[in-house]
Amino acid sequence: MADARAASIERALVESLRELRCEPAGKLAFLALTRKSERHLCDLMAWRLQRRVCSRALLVRCEKRLQREDASVDIAVMRDGEPIALVEAKQGYTFDLARLVLGHSPTKNGIEADVRKDIEKQRCRQSICERRYILLFFAHPRSVPPQGVLRDEYHSPLAKWVEKARAKGIPTPDWDRETLDRGFRRLSEDLGGCLHPVCDGHSDFDAGDAFETNVRIFYWLLRVGG
């Protein structure tokens, strides 16, 4: 029964991710270009997940502070006050994966360091919850957006990233799925191979246009082991 319930929650996570493509055209593109939008993506996913579990016994919480530890978790599925699934999410840009494909070393303040911290938090929760996940979003601008607007008006992290990428000679092409998968595998290897992809838990979708720039969002749902 416990295995069946866990599998059901996992399927609901995957389906809720797929439904993010149903957001109004351009909404997620705007958020991805102007700021790190993982918080908003988590909120949307939690809402869709709550609709899917559709049970008074199960509650989906965002930024839930667990009683047995100090850190809050991005998404928690709770049953009778106890967590049965925990998700930590991070959003980066496909330029982060491009660095790894091109053989650049991980950076101290890059996506690798952020994900490593989330993995460690999830490992520490092993005694209170068996099903623990890392959810990675990577926004991909299909062309270079206007840097002046993003930098000066929105203080977007993307503007700084593009400037650094250009300075280091990292191209910003229209990466295909195979290339991004290679970057993801390199990222997973750098993180110690403790992340296990969830079946059908990776895909991408068109987030629409903003600032005359089309954006795709790639995602991976991964189970934490050990």
Residue spans of the domains in the chain: they are: 2-224
Give pLDDT, residue 194: 81
Per-position pLDDT tens, the chain of length 226 = 455 566 788 999 999 999 999 999 999 999 988 887 788 999 999 999 998 887 667 889 888 887 655 678 999 999 888 899 999 999 888 877 777 766 666 565 577 888 889 999 998 899 889 999 999 998 888 877 776 777 777 767 777 767 766 676 665 555 667 777 787 787 777 777 788 889 777 888 999 999 888 999 989 999 997 5
Six-digit token string for 175: 């990466």
- Decide: 184 and 112 in contact? Cβ < 8 Å: no
For the chain, what is the total number of helices (H) and then of strands (E)?
8, 6
pLDDT for the residue numbered 11: 92
Distance, in Å, from the CA atom of 205 to the CA atom of 210, rounded to the nearest integer, reads: 15
Q: CA–CA separation, 34 vs 212, rounded Å?
A: 13
Q: What residues contact residue 216 under an 8 Å CB cut-off, 6+ apart? A: 139, 140, 142, 204, 205, 206, 207
Q: What is the pLDDT of residue 106?
A: 57
| Residue position matching structure tokens 């195979």 | 178
> At 72, is the secondary structure helix, strand, or coil?
strand
41 three-state secondary structure: helix
What is the pTM (predicted TM-score) of this model? 0.86
* Exposure b/e, 193-223, CB count within 10 A at least 16 = b: ebbeebeebbbebebbebbebbbbbbbbbbb
Cα–Cα distance for residue pair 90/100, rounded to 1 Å: 17
Q: Do the Cβ atoms of 107 and 153 come closer than 8 Å?
A: no
